[in-house]
């Protein structure tokens, strides 16, 4: 099953992909694959990073990103 991974409070550009400057806050990650995103850390605080498939988030597919 694919995973729509969402980072709150930020947008990112997909690294290595010619997206013509498009920014995203959610990236679809395929099973057994990875997604590399360039994030500008310009919004300090604690931010949730999670899969938007609710049953995945409820089973622990979430974490926080925090910085000052």
Residue 65 contacts residue 49 (beta carbons within 8 Å): yes
Question: Residues with Cβ < 8 Å from 30, sequence gap 6 or more?
Answer: 2, 3
Model pLDDT for residues 17-64, shown as the tens digit of each residue: 656 677 889 989 999 998 888 899 999 999 999 999 999 988 999 999
pTM for the structure as a whole: 0.80
Residue 40 contacts residue 10 (beta carbons within 8 Å): yes
The pLDDT, as a whole number, for residue 49 is 95
Q: Name all domains of the chain by residue range, CATH numbers in brackets.
A: 3-67 (2.60.40.420)
Q: What's the CA gap between 52 and 62, in Å, rounded? A: 9
């Amino acid at each position: 099953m694919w995973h729509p991974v969402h980072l709150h409070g930020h947008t990112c550009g997909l690294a290595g992909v010619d997206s013509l400057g498009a920014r995203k806050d959610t990236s679809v990650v395929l099973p057994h694959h990875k997604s590399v995103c360039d994030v500008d850390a310009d919004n300090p605080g604690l931010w949730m990073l999670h899969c938007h498939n609710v049953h995945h988030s409820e089973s622990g597919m979430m974490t926080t990103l925090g910085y000052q």
